[in-house]
A and B are shown apart, each in its own frame.
Chain A
């Protein structure tokens, strides 16, 4: 007689799953059951089994570490849209059918377009159900554990430096980290927030190491990704990030806006009254001189106070010279951003 097969309960499956960085604010104790009665919405947590390993071979964990993925692994990730020109464009599917892991920070979505370099295709997931605390409650959503809005609106008076760029991988986060480190070495308390983008452990970890405190990103405000959210919500996230950092008593606020100036949410935010009113200076990052020239002109046409240029172009002396000559703007390399006196002067150049 064969022994009976034990089917693990939903709770056992949940407890045995790897939770992604993007779910870090949701306590495991809240994850009690699975629901297949609701259609997925952005931010909903899904328990899924890894079917096939593709582009993303590792998953960022709540503590900032990473783990390798294998077929058959269970993961808990939120659904969200993804914008990554160098990887994927993905949307929240309208069903609980097979989908993809579209970001290493932990995002479930269905890929609609891939960069040609992504030869293996995305890592595929087979959802088992939306994670809920109770069969009658809505699925758990990362927004339920976002920071409550700050008690006070933005007061102003603290320098707010926005780091923006031509596209993803233009050097924004590295520039933000070196600027933060330079200020930190000068004894200045820097608060950092990444206000848009896709949740990932790397950027907050880097800024934390650079000396920023507190370090926030949009996942703290209840979003796993900000792609395709309404412009007024993006503006609200910008305001809330500043208000939270102000309340923490920092001296300078460094805010990073993800992706490039042509990305929809970024473009609308930078064109908004909110951005113009709350931002004292913009540091523009580009991978090469022509992008720097175009972006510089774009920002100046909107009347935004460009403090200077930075980013990957600063690895090439010829690009630095071309960008400087074409824009008349100062170009800051990492060594300069990280130099306490330069960083201090940069923050002082503001309206």
Chain B
């Protein structure tokens, strides 16, 4: 398998347990020690290439490489929940291996991840952060349908008790709450179509739509950080006038907000 360049976007087919992927590598690299990698994760419509196309201008301006896995529906049916045992392969481990292969292909070494996910991709991203916080410098979760609550008493994926579903994984608030996270959602993302999980219990616990659920999760994460005595950064932004559409969110400034967030985190890191 080789990387194929098409209009500046690198494409590599999947196989041997790895997802197909798209990537963009800017000529100019961000300054500072080490090099972070931005990983963009698609929603259930699986528009991985579109994510690269729409996030590319900001990545180029910031000098950050961009990688977008395509978790195909047949193989990675449970990717939003990281691929629970018996529901399919582990999407989190597949991404880690994909990044290693991308490092080989691009002859670069990425020392930490900046994650951005939209819709189902935001579900994946916040759960990846919980499972692998040491790998992530910052995360942007946009318009997730629902969230894993930082609740030690509830079973995964609603809460943190993974049991045998994610062997080798421990979701520990004191570790994952250290990862700066920006939660974004379209202010008009109020629909309850088939892409939003609608269960009475979820509605009662997290809210009836993506806006309510984002607000609930931000509050829960901030409260959990306070209980742990951590000065965590859990930012929140609503994109005015936007419903559930990744291109419309980008048009409303999601890309700019996300990369400004990433750059602010990298600047803070550099200053300490």
Contact = CB atoms under 8 A, between A and B. Distances in A.
B85 interface: yes
A151 B168 contact: no
A225 to B, nearest CB: 11
A139 to B, nearest CB: 8
A137 B163 contact: no
Given A136-B174, A144-B170, A236 B97 contact: no
A222 B167 contact: yes
Interface centre among A144, A148, A153 (most CB of B within 10 A): A144
Nearest to B154: A138
A134 interface: yes
Contacts of A230: 86
Name the residue among B160, B161, B163, B227 with the largest chain A CB count within 10 angstroms: B163
Contact of A136 (B17, B155, B163, B227): B227
A232 B86 contact: yes
B153 interface: yes
A38 B163 contact: no
Contacts of B227: 136
Given A133-B172, A136-B227, A149 B86 contact: no
B152 A151 contact: no
Given A148-B90, A149-B167, A151-B93, A141 B162 contact: yes
A41 B174 contact: no
A222 B17 contact: no
Interface string B1-23: 00000000000000011000000
A234 to B, nearest CB: 9
A289 to B, nearest CB: 38
A269 to B, nearest CB: 13
Summarize A's interface: helix, strand, loop or mixed: loop
B174 A152 contact: no
Nearest to B151: A138
B164 A138 contact: no
Nearest to B225: A136
Given A141-B162, A222-B164, A136 B86 contact: no
B267 interface: no
A96 B93 CA distance: 35
A222 B167 CA distance: 6
B168 A144 contact: yes
B173 A223 contact: no
Contacts of A348: none
A143 B97 contact: no
A149 B152 contact: no
Contact of A144 (B16, B93, B162, B224): B162
B90 A153 contact: no
A221 B86 contact: no
B171 interface: yes
B169 interface: yes
Interface in A212-271: 221-223, 229-230, 232-233, 235-236
| Most chain B beta-carbon neighbours within 10 Å: one of A41, A136, A152, A232 | A136
Given A134-B173, A137-B173, A153-B17, A222 B86 contact: no
A42 interface: yes
B104 to A, nearest CB: 15
Given A137-B173, A233-B85, A236-B86, A148 B160 contact: no
B163 A41 contact: yes
A132 to B, nearest CB: 8
A147 B153 contact: no
Contacts of B160: 137-138
Contacts of A136: 150, 152, 173-174, 224, 227-228
B164 A38 contact: no
B209 to A, nearest CB: 28
19 contacts: A133-B172, A136-B152, A136-B173, A136-B224, A136-B227, A137-B170, A137-B171, A137-B173, A137-B174, A138-B153, A138-B172, A143-B163, A144-B170, A146-B167, A149-B167, A151-B17, A153-B17, A222-B168, A236-B86
List the 8 shortest-distance A-B pairs measured between CB atoms, nearest first: A146-B167, A148-B168, A144-B170, A232-B86, A138-B152, A222-B167, A137-B172, A236-B86
